[in-house]
Structure 1
Amino acid sequence: MRLTPFLALMFALSMLDRSNVGFVKQALQVDSNIGNAAFALGAGIFFIGYAVFEIPSNLMLHRVGAKVWLSRIMVTWGLASAAMMFAHDETSFYVLRFILGVAEAGFSPGVILYSTYWFPARERGKALGVYYFGLPVALVLGSPLSGFLLEVMGGQLGLRNWQWMFIIEGLAASIAGIIAFFYLVSKPRDARWLTSNEKSALEAAIAAEDREKIAHGPATALHALRNWQVLRFVAIYFAIQVSVYGVIFYLPTRISELTGTAIGSKVGLLTAIPWLCALIALRFITGMADAKGKHRQFAIAMLAMAAAGIALSTLGQHLAPVLIAFCIATVGFVVVQPLFWTLPTAYLSGTAAASGIALIGALGNLGGFIAPTLKTAVEALFQSQQAGMLALASAGVLGVLLLLSIGAHARRASAMPFGSSKAASR
């Protein structure tokens, strides 16, 4: 697990730079005269750029190695995130969010692919669980940080507080990207902390898995792109992302409304509570799923929990019950993600994994584009904020139904008994 904590840090910075737009919603709309519908479109348009370049990015990572490619992604997305300081109207907001998506394209699917080089299937859930620590960490620590920056910054060098927030959080990602180039190791054979025997054992276990995957799944990059099982994974991940980003983009605003305070340190601390709950649950539940070999069943339970929590959040107008409902939802949609990724990574290998994982990430992440627009449209149609959140909950229910329908080959692949490698977890 030596590499996964640093990958979790990279993911935390990624999620911070994706979601911090939710913290500046009110200030940005006032300063730039951006309406709710335009903000929803701009928040989601990030995922269009992300989707377009996802597959070529993952194929490039498979070719040149994670060390170079993940570092490049991180440096460029940090600079793009800092450039959000220049948003001054609807058009510039759209363009900069799109550029941010292009810059970050391939990062998370690249890390998922990277995990298949290091961890056999029966250990991958826990390993990805450590990586996904980055999501709640970003919002446990990042939410108060964003709120703090909005309170204390502003006026320095003639810049607004939200501009400083984008600059500081964006450049932090670029600095981490430079460090990543010197820290990451692309393949086990290059790891100085493993002995020759450990490298051989780990690579033999991964190779044995890959042979089994080829026997049951697509063998080439092109086959993966037209494989029905892969397309089913796309639909499931899409449903998950609708739930995730519908909450991420609007949680700070909802807490602000319930407390009657502007978005700042108080709202940031309250917003961090659901993510702290997810952080506590993440390692425990993914470890249990690995031990029992029931990733799919645990994923179903977690996504059902997410849908239930989102629906329950609409039932009250008092802070405590709504915050509890968001805690339930957040645990569900955070923990389901590493559990979900054990399924396609146990089904795909080689270039098929590079293209298939990228396709799942590219099209699935469009759920992040649809979520704010869907929520806003449904609210306008029914003249109800409750209706918008219930639409997001319905997406989670759809994801549960699709997980229930996953074919026997993928389930068998995810439970493959190829040995565990202690070397990978060192």
Structure 2
Amino acid sequence: MDDTTAAEPAALRRRLGLTDAVTIGLGAMIGAGVFAAFAPAARAAGSGLLLGLALAALVAYCNAASSARLAARHPASGGTYVYGRERLGPFWGHLAGWGFVVGKTASCAAMALTAGAYVWPGHERPVAVAAVVALTALNCFGVQKSAWFTRAAVAVVLAVLASVVVTALTSSRADAAQLEPGADADVTGVLQAAGLLFFAFAGYARVATLGEEVRDPARTIPRAIPVALGITLVVYAAVAVATLAVLGPDRLAAAGAPLAETVRAAGVPELAPVVRTGAATAALGALLALILGVSRTTLAMARDRHLPGFLAAVEPRHDVPRHAELAVGAVVVVLAATVDLRGAIGFSSFGVLVYYAVANASAWTLRAEETTARRTVVRTVAAVGLAGCLLLAFSLPVTSVITGAAVLAAGALSYAVRARFTPR
């Protein structure tokens, strides 16, 4: 064991400004989910899809506000892993970090396979592996290189989504009556749709997990997170209204590629290949942001010896946690080459909601002198966020809840084993 590394872990250099932080948040949130998430949400909520989106947005706002306040107080790599450890105790930090690393590693593989399916249908795996290798290599050359790529990907995706929304809403097929909730919009379905749609919002955590690489984090992170979330809310609301108005809840629920189906139904089928390009770009942007977030949480957990200590090394030339990034990339390559996770990562939604539940519980403990907001406001937002996370988590499909709970139980067991056999 390297005692020097354990005692004085190398720090990452602060290179990211406000624009970079907002861009990384957007790249993580406006990913491939926006091209596919509305169909399963419509299957769950029917005409109550917009209600589910509003509920998901409320919970996301509370989580974002709590995360921003905690990030200003604890501007280190690791996000909620660090907040849980510092505010609630090592076990809760470990549980949040475990759920994030395991769940988001599976999400990385799923995003890689999604990109492969759009780029070269029928040959997803070689494309997925190549994408993971390329983006992991890009991350190893510094976080600013990753931010530049993300900025370009976000610009492409926003342009594609804008074209879909304008095409749909100016079409003669758009019918505002299809936006109104009907008898099929029951409470259970709306809650389940909100849980599914929340997963698409969860990327704002990526800004917090990069807290050690942001300049003036006490000011930058609390500004970047709500800005990124606000832009994403506007985009998602516009896309949801456009697809519902053209397709209606039943046709949207049955669509395999909802946005491509929307432009075809609107009478502009030549836009479908553009949508396909946007989806592939979004998947790659989300994959890049996921690898960044998972590697930084891995770094933080390795510093505390919850993961092997060599993963805490920081490469001095480019100031990146190269061992952590390469380890995450290697695991994702194996998963993308061997396992189809696109239809089997419901547990990731459960894990993300538990992760943010820990964040809100941590924010509840902030004292008046630790935040610029009034303590009653901080606690109210944290309480609403905590309750919302738990409600949505246990409203997910039963298989997602069981699988997610099993993943968290494995994390708790690993903590207990480590605590039993590691000398204090």
Specify which structure has the bigger relative contact order, considering alpha-carbon pairs within 8 angstroms and separated by 6 or more residues.
2
Q: TM-score, normalised by structure 1?
A: 0.31
Q: TM-score, normalised by structure 2?
A: 0.31
